[in-house]
Amino acid sequence: MTMTDADRDDDTATGPLPVAGPTSENAQEKTASVLDQMGGPMGFVYSTVPVVVFATANAFLSLPVTIAVSVGVAVLLTAFRLVRGERFASAIGGLVGVGVAAGIVAWTGSAKDFFAIGIWVALAGFVVTAASVLARRPLTGVIWNALHGNKHAWRADRPSLRAHDIATLAAAAVFGARFAVQQWLYVIDTTGGLAVARVAMGTPLTILAALVVVWAFRRTSKRLLTRS
């Protein structure tokens, strides 16, 4: 029996679908590929180094020197990552981010603006993820389906839809917390506090949210993917 488009959009279907052993491995491979695109676990570590350097230098040096030091460290870190054979896009992304942030600081003359882009990115992330749940198309589910050829009726399977609601809400909570805390620190003008918040709410919260997303991916894969 062929599933129609109407069936695919029916959010009331609950029946479990067949499971095949290899699908779990495929899901793990796809998840690992996504994480690799983000630079892997060390990519999160690399992203914190320029932040720590900027905040530390700002406490002891003039703003122009602080900018130069932070950009210089980002350049050296990027060169190190490229020498180690990391993907160009992953390695250069951090340098571009630091360069743009440093440019904004040089333009405004305010050290706290080094963190402005991150704050607004967090707000945008919260709006997108929360809106996708309200629209009954949680973003993690959309991404999972895209990774598998956009050919699965994941929204028609309640457990899968619930899993992606939870995963997307976890991502929304991370983005929302980052925006709320860092915007408050921005308003009270504490560059050191912003640096601490960026580091503390960066890798740890990202890992927690990623674990929930991986769980949702695996749960959906076990229910919807069949042996080809």
Q: What is the pTM of this model?
A: 0.77
CA distance 137 to 158: 12
Please, what is the average pLDDT of the chain? 83
How many CB atoms neighbour CB 53 within 10 A?
20
pLDDT at 8 over 60: no
Question: What's residue 4's pLDDT?
Answer: 45
Q: How confident is the model at residue 203 (pLDDT cuts 50, 70, 90)?
A: confident
Per-residue pLDDT for 7 more than 60?
A: no
Query: pLDDT tens digit string along 26-47?
Result: 545 545 554 555 555 666 677 7
- More confident call, 185 vs 226: 185
Q: What is the DSSP string of 177-195?
A: HHHHHHHHHHHTT-HHHHH
Res. 9: pLDDT tops 80: no
pLDDT value, residue 104: 95
Alpha-carbon gap, residue 104 to 111, rounded angstroms: 9
Half-sphere exposure of 124 (CA within 13 A, CB side): 6
Lowest mean pLDDT among 1-5, 119-123, 151-155: 1-5
Task: Please provide the distance, in angstroms rounded to a whole number, between the alpha carbons at the two ends of the chain.
Answer: 18
Look up tokens 């076990």; give the residue. Answer: 222
Give per-residue pLDDT as tens, 45-61: 777 888 999 999 999 99
DSSP code, position 4 = P
